[in-house]
Amino acid sequence: MYVGVDYYPEHWPETRWALDAQMMQKAGFNVVRLGEFAWTNFEPAEGCYDFAWLDRALEVLARHGIRAILGTPTAVVPAWLAHRYPEVMVVDKTGQRRTWGVRKDTCYSSGVLRRFSQAITTALATHYASHPGVIGWQTDNEFGGSNDCRCPACQAAFQDFLRQRYGTLDELNRAWGTHFWGQIFRAWEEVPVIVDTNGQNPSACLDWQRFYSDQNVRYQGEQVQILRRLCPRHFITHNLMGLAPDVNYFNLARDLDFVSWDNYPVWGRPEVRYDAALAADLMRGAKHKNFWIMEQTAGPCGWGSFNRNVRPGELRAVAYQQLAHGADGQIWFRWRTCTAGREQYWHGLLQHDGKPNRRYLEAAQVAREYHLLAPLLEGLSVRAEVAMIYDYDSLWVTRFQGSFEGNDYREQLKRYHRALFRAGIGLDIISPADDFSRYKLVIAPELHLMPDALARRLEAYIEQGGTLLADVRTAVKDGTNLVHDRTLPGLLSSALGIAIPEYDVLADKAEIPLTQGFAGHKATLYTDWIKPTTAETVAGYDAWWLTDYAAITRNRLAKGIAWYVGTIGNTPAFYDGLIARVLADAGITAPLTPPPGVEAVVRSGQGRELLFLINHTEDCQTVPVPTGRKELLTGTTTATTLTLDRHGVAVVQLR
Amino acid sequence: MYVGVDYYPEHWPETRWALDAQMMQKAGFNVVRLGEFAWTNFEPAEGCYDFAWLDRALEVLARHGIRAILGTPTAVVPAWLAHRYPEVMVVDKTGQRRTWGVRKDTCYSSGVLRRFSQAITTALATHYASHPGVIGWQTDNEFGGSNDCRCPACQAAFQDFLRQRYGTLDELNRAWGTHFWGQIFRAWEEVPVIVDTNGQNPSACLDWQRFYSDQNVRYQGEQVQILRRLCPRHFITHNLMGLAPDVNYFNLARDLDFVSWDNYPVWGRPEVRYDAALAADLMRGAKHKNFWIMEQTAGPCGWGSFNRNVRPGELRAVAYQQLAHGADGQIWFRWRTCTAGREQYWHGLLQHDGKPNRRYLEAAQVAREYHLLAPLLEGLSVRAEVAMIYDYDSLWVTRFQGSFEGNDYREQLKRYHRALFRAGIGLDIISPADDFSRYKLVIAPELHLMPDALARRLEAYIEQGGTLLADVRTAVKDGTNLVHDRTLPGLLSSALGIAIPEYDVLADKAEIPLTQGFAGHKATLYTDWIKPTTAETVAGYDAWWLTDYAAITRNRLAKGIAWYVGTIGNTPAFYDGLIARVLADAGITAPLTPPPGVEAVVRSGQGRELLFLINHTEDCQTVPVPTGRKELLTGTTTATTLTLDRHGVAVVQLR
Amino acid sequence: MYVGVDYYPEHWPETRWALDAQMMQKAGFNVVRLGEFAWTNFEPAEGCYDFAWLDRALEVLARHGIRAILGTPTAVVPAWLAHRYPEVMVVDKTGQRRTWGVRKDTCYSSGVLRRFSQAITTALATHYASHPGVIGWQTDNEFGGSNDCRCPACQAAFQDFLRQRYGTLDELNRAWGTHFWGQIFRAWEEVPVIVDTNGQNPSACLDWQRFYSDQNVRYQGEQVQILRRLCPRHFITHNLMGLAPDVNYFNLARDLDFVSWDNYPVWGRPEVRYDAALAADLMRGAKHKNFWIMEQTAGPCGWGSFNRNVRPGELRAVAYQQLAHGADGQIWFRWRTCTAGREQYWHGLLQHDGKPNRRYLEAAQVAREYHLLAPLLEGLSVRAEVAMIYDYDSLWVTRFQGSFEGNDYREQLKRYHRALFRAGIGLDIISPADDFSRYKLVIAPELHLMPDALARRLEAYIEQGGTLLADVRTAVKDGTNLVHDRTLPGLLSSALGIAIPEYDVLADKAEIPLTQGFAGHKATLYTDWIKPTTAETVAGYDAWWLTDYAAITRNRLAKGIAWYVGTIGNTPAFYDGLIARVLADAGITAPLTPPPGVEAVVRSGQGRELLFLINHTEDCQTVPVPTGRKELLTGTTTATTLTLDRHGVAVVQLR
């Protein structure tokens, strides 16, 4: 199993390298990521390459049994490149070309940039294709974020993208509904870039985001093509950013062997690391296979100011959480805190002083344990009976058109996910294009966009015995972000057995008590005014103007069951109750119910089943466990309960 | 009486038109507004006009007895126009030309834009001048808001505007006080545009706003001139936006036959619709005649997210409130919710699905009732004994130079208006140029700008028996937004019988108890330190440093009385008490005192007097009424009280 | 002693001047500042000068015994200059050239601007060099603030600045640590301007601020050189802005005879004027000599809205506070409130009406008293035993890289300063380059940047018997804003007798109880995890993960004592307790302990010692004083206590 650190030999005197490698080896580290910001070191002048320094670094590392993942170094262009070819820099919304000096600020429509990107990738790949110390590649760094550009090249590329997508102007006009506000295009050149997602055509805004995402995928693809050709024995990955919203990760992952991601879950006060679990499930879902952690939090993080330091045991708990969710490799960011530049305060395992310290020792403990567990983990992953759909299109459109105040697509996913977490149930986060039939339960939060095919597939899933949970604003729009002319929930009306003639928001923190099966709970933010057709009413609203409507419904359809939740519950307890009922419908049970703040995840395969328990709290926790199984970290055998220290972890071999 | 909807046939298949018209007719609708965003439909290519589609739509509508108001379609320029003539787009504060794709983003100084605007207006007017289905025109759409431009053409136009206003550079320098900070102009070309209203010369900032307003008026005027010439039998109106601050509506209304306005009073939690009443009174005041509602809220509204749905009865109550205040025509926005574009969630009467629904049925009920009331309403309007001055100059200058933190000109008007509303007293909102002698009481909140002539007219009004209420920051400035060198309240000192040697703010929510007639109340935000000369002190301040000063004074001047309120009261009760005393001085009594949340408005004329009662609350309300009168909606005869359902309305014929 | 007002004869009719001068004389005023915004009056057209109007004004003033300080009028360029030479205007971050019309918006790299600045300075200096009414000059007005520019001239000047500072590109690359993110420069022209201090290289950001500061110093220097040559008998000063952060005042002061400053301490609710005391101490520290007040608050202040009016006695208390701290001249801003321009509401002594009023009378009282005290004050200043280091570099870097949320360099200084204020202890605010040996105690808050030489000097200071107080983030960085590779506190580790292997933030308002000597108090915001080596632990943390670490330490080093405070205390009481212990170590005692809200300051010299007592509260206060001394304002002799009215002051001659 690969365990290691992100390492920047170019930041330190060459005389230090041997000590670094020795300390890494002593800690049990066997891999480093290198070079992803070193373009100017590799190509100090246009077309002049220098790999000697990295060769020397690899040699030192190899001497201590450490292998390397190389980054294509395109996240920062050299100063000489930006100075000589200013057109590589992004033009922002105010029409100004970005000043070189930060990062991730180059235009992916720029032919100049792409030519240089391909050239440096080719040179690196050629040089390291058969280097024994190199095992794989990371493309660029953290695609997405800040380099959306409005230069003329981007406008032309956007028009091209649309021409490919829609073929004719008539079809574009239809797909965008440009009859509204008299915005019909008579020529492709008239199509503008998007600078105002609060004012411009929403269908255009969605396509702009798709275009941006695709530009990233294409840019990576051009590097991948070169690497595949020149380095056939190397793996190719990229460090994604969990729930980051800018790039469609399902698409970005397609060209990769596996995805990696950068996990920084230590902020503010200590808390249950729900989001890191959700992000890990999405990362695993991106290719339906295990992933790596390419940057694992190692200390206080931040640019202008840094955040909380990990407390004793916390660095280990963070690592085990990812291991449980499917991390097959794990790399701490970074080895040693940099003394220069914008990330001076983004702390590595070592402080600036480079001395072994508490965090280094804790990481070394993790590495030692991982190497012991490795043989048992081989081939194991999370095998879930529950899937939750993650739809980038719905995410994107709700960011600029939330439809009701306070609506947040990812927050909505989290409401269900956290209830499953508390119930001790694992889940996969999947694309709407994935196969639903593998799952007993599919949760489909806020599927605003509902292309016909997706509706048909969801309906078929239910009919064939699946349990579906859908909710507010489902199927409001079609695939091009137009509203359709069907009564809501549109194409899912018969599957859900309801009609929604009207809906409403609950502004200014207004709440409405729920009735029947959810008496004691309250509706917040939004209410669908539901008329069941074939569905039963599970909860209604206690408000004078809503007495005739349902809030939550449940519909039997052929062999399956379809839930519809027409509001947002006011507390986690609402979601715990809801999930309990839906799980019961789907016939799903948890291996155990962990106490609050303890996470229980099962990895299985190869006839084995490992139960990971992670205590996210600062109190000791007692967990009910199957008796007579081996706890692998202590080598003890379980009684009926198992006690976890604060931030403690355990790995119980169930089978 | 005209009742109807805003309708966009170009958004829907032609096959649907007949059903739409039939449903409208069934609901009692007899008018639609059409076409105000359809420029690209009317002129798909430069100089090529196509009115056939609208001809067909008008024909379908006519078949169902529905007539049309046409909009000049200039609120959105066609894509081809913006692409071919980029100079029509606004240049914003950062020097960047606006990207086409939203609306209301064109430069009114642009000769190209104005030429195209006149051409399309001419073509439309020529085509429809004698069309039997067309009854009138709406110019453009909602002038004001977002298209303030800093292009070179605007700078030149601004310099021209100033040359016309001031004649000589010396006079400009004097009017703006450019001796401050050594900003004297030596040539007209040196005069800059305004980009920083917090830093540039305040007199220049005021003139910049006047210029912007005038550019709107001129732009409309050019269309009106064409319409008057070609369509002499059609009325011309425009849809104003109530209290929107950007354009001087008194000036914009001058060229119109009557004003219309767009009323969207349903936001957040249910509440008393004070602001819609105030806005209606201003709209009626714009030309001292009744008005139309051109867009009446029909459902949840909003671009990115929408707001509250109307509850049962609320759509009707909203409509009756405007009828009571003088709406002679009423048009719901919009017929059917659009499935495309930025206003997908700005709901019409019908949902996207186009089916008859609750809101449609309630609107139909209103239409039926209106047609019954119509004969009795003919020639009736609100006849008020109270006027409140609405001064755009004072509004504008306080927006960039509030003089004390928390000062808000329109909020100040609302304080008095709401007290009158609660007291059951109607009022006119008037221009400072209007005749005061028609009123027993004139309220003049925060008249910062006090040209000499206005001061003389106010003084004469009091002398001749009027009652005036003035307040903080009155007469601080002259007509060009310079402070004068008189002790405050300047030219009104003798009329008000006071001098104000100093003043102060109450920062950080500090409050000072008031004394004498207003003991129990508190001063907030600001204090004038008043020395009465001939006035009596009605209230003083309870603070060690203010014992020698008055807070509120009352002065007899010849036959009249002048109040001065030198602070902001801390509660509505303060204003209720104040208004009660001032009304008593003016000899004004209400026909009845409604319970809290019920609005009582009288429309009279032609020997008739109709009392409208609107329940803005969600509880039943019992209102004391004159006995033995006819309630027109139920046909019953009144006892001593009348009961209103939640959101209920009643119309009692007093005479 | 000079007492007077800022006066703008060019704002008023010439016929008024005599009355103004007469009223000034009557008030005891003998000096005015003139002309600092009158460039367009002095040079109405390019190269055409007109000083006649000022000659006439000076003559009128001289007739009433009033002398003048002239401002070089370069804070606002004439409209004709900006129009003819647009390149003098600042280019802001969005790449747009600033629109002329505010002030302080010109580019100091512009050769055109500098040529005109030197020409008008030369013309003025030539004309007034031997004018008997002129006593000195103020350069420009309030350097710093808003004119940081990104034009090509500034980029070139910045590159020049760096070439001078670092000599070679290699050295620049080293000093900035451009190996991070691969930002190595291969040519000087590649060095960009700074537009994003949150993203660009922090060392570059620091140098950008130093460059901006130096540009101001150079611009002033070019004027000073001319004035020195032409007006050898005149003093030269500038009106600084207290704690304003943009320009290094130690450097700006170097070319001046003495500094002046603009004191506006009356905002919000009445409160103890701590900050005005701190600012005064910095102003005195800028040249280690007494200063002038060039603009003293005279009434409500503000542009868009104004703030609180001074209450009776407050204007006098404000003035005496500055006198106590070393003001040798005092000028109220402004004589009369201007009726035009952006500062219409920045009130002078007189209101707009120009009549004698309460504030005028209070200022006249102050002037009278000052003239009586003047002979006793001659040669007296604050002689402090405590110094606090004010380091612009550390201030600057923490503004864009605070290192922990809520960190504010100036706020940190205030925590200690206020405790000293409450303890009745005077202090000097000094530059890190100043001599420490003059002081018994040196407080060095947050010295992020610690060049080697400074560390050596601080260590030597302790060794030779000094007491040092250092705190969080001390010595994190070297002189070019790179982190070093030493364990914290770096070069001060042995002097402080501690090592800091880790540190942490307390986010989301978390707090940790302190132990031992500071039990009852709490740590907030940040914690150093301290391992004492030779130091004793004064306080620890009560938290499970910090039991092994100290929070506050005290170290004996040779003859001295060094304190280290590794956190931020939660209350003023924490700092009172801390300062009491540190003062005890340093052997410093206060002449008396004033009651809360009363300030006690001693000015001494020439064998005399004057104790100033200022009551910052609105209650009477009783102060324990030495008996039998003369209170100079009343002429009475002290008993054991002295009573101060609200806002009252007293001056007791101790010796």
Task: Please compute, for residue B559, the number of CA atoms within 13 A of its CA located in the half-sphere on the CB side.
Answer: 9
- Interface check for A509 against chain B (CB to CB < 8 A): the answer is no
> What mean pLDDT comes out for the span A484-508?
97
Tokens of C188: 């000087």
Topology match between the domains A2-85+107-146+220-377 and A598-653: no
Read off the amino acid at residue B179. H
Neighbours of B119 (CB within 10 A): 15
Per-residue pLDDT, B555: 98
* pLDDT, chain A, mean: 97
* C207-to-C107, C151, C163 alpha-carbon distances in Å: 18, 17, 12
Q: How many CA atoms, within 13 angstroms, populate the side-chain half-sphere of residue C284?
A: 27
Q: Do A340 and C200 touch (CB under 8 A)?
A: no
Which chain C residues contact residue B482 at CB under 8 A? Answer: 339-340, 344
* Percent above pLDDT 70 for chain B: 100
Q: Tell me how close the Cα of B445 comes to any Cα of chain C, in angstroms.
A: 18
Distance set, CA A445 to CA A390, A415, B226, C617 (Å): 8, 10, 54, 60
Mean pLDDT within B213-237: 98
Coil vs helix vs strand at B175 = helix
pLDDT at B632 over 90: yes
Q: By the CB < 8 Å criterion, does C271 face chain B?
A: no
Average pLDDT (A171-196) is 98
Residue A310 contacts B, CB cutoff 8 Å: no
pLDDT digits (tens, 9 = 90+) for B590-622: 999 999 999 999 999 999 999 999 999 999 999
CA-based radius of gyration for chain A: 26
Closest in C192, C403, C483 to A101, CB measured: C192
What distances in angstroms separate CA C517 from CA A385, C514, C553, C586, one per listed residue? 58, 8, 10, 18
Give the pLDDT score at B645: 98
C47 and B CB contact within 8 Å: no
Taking CA atoms, A386 is separated from A382, A383, A424, A442, in Å, by 11, 9, 12, 6
Tell me which architecture the domain covering B2-72+113-151+218-377 has in CATH: Alpha-Beta Barrel (3.20)
Measure the CA dihedral C356/C360/C365/C371, to 10°.
-110
Let me know if A295 is a catalytic residue.
yes
Mean pLDDT of the C300-324 span:
97
B43, B46, B189, B295: the catalytic one is: B295
Band of pLDDT at residue B94, cut at 50, 70 and 90? confident
Task: Give contacts of B 113-142 with A, CB under 8 A.
Answer: none
Q: What is the mean pLDDT of residues A111-118?
A: 98
Asked if the model's pLDDT at residue C146 lies above 90, the reply is no
Chain A CB within 8 Å of residue B356 CB: no
Select the CATH number that applies to the domain covering A386-586 from these four: 3.40.50.880, 2.102.10.10, 3.10.20.30, 3.40.50.300: 3.40.50.880
**Residue A145: what pLDDT?**
84
Q: Give me A557's structure tokens.
A: 């359809």
| DSSP reduced 3-state for C124 | helix
pLDDT for res B463? 98
pLDDT above 90 for C145: no
A502–B307 CB contact, under 8 Å? no
Which pLDDT value is given to residue A98? 96
**pLDDT the model gives residue A396:** 98
Percentage of residues in chain C with pLDDT exceeding 90?
99
Tell me the mean pLDDT in the region A88-105.
94
Interface test with C, best of A11, A54, A352, A646 (most C CBs within 10 A): A352
Instruction: State the pLDDT at residue B242.
Output: 97
Question: How far is the alpha carbon of C182 from chain A, nearest alpha carbon, in Å?
Answer: 5
State residue C427's pLDDT score: 97
- Please say whether the beta carbons of A329 and A1 come within 8 A: yes
In this complex, the chains that touch B, judged by 3 or more CB pairs closer than 8 A, are A, C
pLDDT tens string A38-68: 999 999 999 999 999 999 999 999 999 999 9
pTM of the model: 0.97
Q: Measured between beta carbons, which residues in chain C are less than 8 angstroms from residue B177?
A: 338-341
Using an 8 Å CB-CB cutoff, list chain A residues near B267.
507
Mutate to test the interface with B, among A181, A196, A530 (most CBs of B within 10 A): A181
Residue of B nearest to A406 (CA): B305
| Tens digit of each residue's pLDDT (9 = 90 or more) over B29-55 | 999 999 999 999 999 999 999 999 999
User: Domain map of chain C by residue range?
Assistant: 2-85+122-147+216-377, 386-586, 598-653
Residue range C352-359: mean pLDDT, rounded: 98
Helix, strand, coil distribution of chain B in percent, nearest 5: 35, 25, 40
> What does the block give as tokens for C297?
């608050």
Give the mean pLDDT of B339-344.
Answer: 97
Determine the average pLDDT of the residues in A550-563.
98
d(CA C512, CA C551): 11
Please tell me the CATH code under which domain A2-85+107-146+220-377 is placed.
3.20.20.80
Distance CA B1, CA B377 (A): 9
Task: Name the catalytic one among B43, B142, B459, B599.
Answer: B142
Q: Would you call C181 and A94 a contact, using CB atoms and an 8 Å cutoff?
A: no
What average pLDDT does the structure give for chain B? 97
CATH number of C2-85+122-147+216-377: 3.20.20.80
Per-residue pLDDT, averaged over C56-74, amounts to 98
Residue of chain A whose Cα is closest to the Cα of C482: A340
Whether omega before C16 lies within 30 degrees of 0, making that bond cis, reads no
Three-state secondary-structure class, residue C566: coil
**pLDDT above 90: residue B145:** no
pLDDT in tens, C28-49: 999 999 999 999 999 999 999 9
Say whether residue B308 is in contact with chain A using an 8 A CB cutoff: yes
Q: Distance (Å, rounded) from C-alpha B60 to C-alpha B17?
A: 7
Average pLDDT over residues B223-237: 98
The verdict on whether B142 is a catalytic residue reads: yes
Cα Rg for chain C, rounded, in angstroms?
A: 26
Residues of A in contact with B300 (CB under 8 A): 503-505
Q: What is the pLDDT of residue C21?
A: 98
Instruction: Please report the pLDDT score of residue A94 as a whole number.
Output: 87
Cα–Cα distance measured from residue B526 to residue B49, given in angstroms and rounded to the nearest whole number: 59
Out of B41, B101, B308, closest to residue A200 by CB? B101
Contact between A476 and A485 under an 8 Å Cβ cutoff? The reply is no
What CATH superfamily classification does C598-653 receive? Answer: Golgi alpha-mannosidase II (2.60.40.1180)
Average pLDDT over residues A385-400: 98
- The pLDDT of residue B329: 98
* CB contact residues (below 8 A), chain C span 155-194, against chain A: 176-187, 189-194
Residue positions of C annotated with a catalytic role? 142, 295
Residue A401 has pLDDT above 90, yes or no: yes
ipTM: 0.96
Per-residue pLDDT of B67-89, as tens digits, reads 999 999 999 999 999 999 999 99
Could you read off the pLDDT of B522-534 as tens digits, one per residue? 999 999 999 999 9
Handedness of CA A159, A163, A164, A165 (dihedral sign): positive
- Measured from the Cβ of residue B185, the count of other Cβ atoms closer than 10 Å reads 22
Q: What is the pLDDT of residues B266-288, one digit of tens each?
A: 999 999 999 999 999 999 999 99
Report the residue of chain B nearest C9, measured CA to CA: B179
Mean pLDDT in residue range A342-369:
98
Mean pLDDT of A336-343: 98
Interchain proximity A192–B99, CB inside 8 Å: yes
CA dihedral B126, B132, B134, B136 (to 10 degrees): 80
Nearest to B617 by CA among B297, B314, B299, B309: B314
Q: Do C44 and B484 touch (CB under 8 A)?
A: no
Q: What percent of chain B has pLDDT over 90?
A: 99
Tens of pLDDT, residues C241-256? 999 999 999 999 999 9
Q: Please tell me the predicted confidence (pLDDT) of residue A67.
A: 98
Q: Give SS3 for B611.
A: strand
CA distance A505 to chain B (A): 5
Q: How many Cβ atoms are within 10 Å of C636's Cβ, its own excluded?
A: 13
The reply to whether C76 touches chain B by the CB within 8 Å rule is yes
Residue of A36, A59, A87, A295 marked catalytic: A295
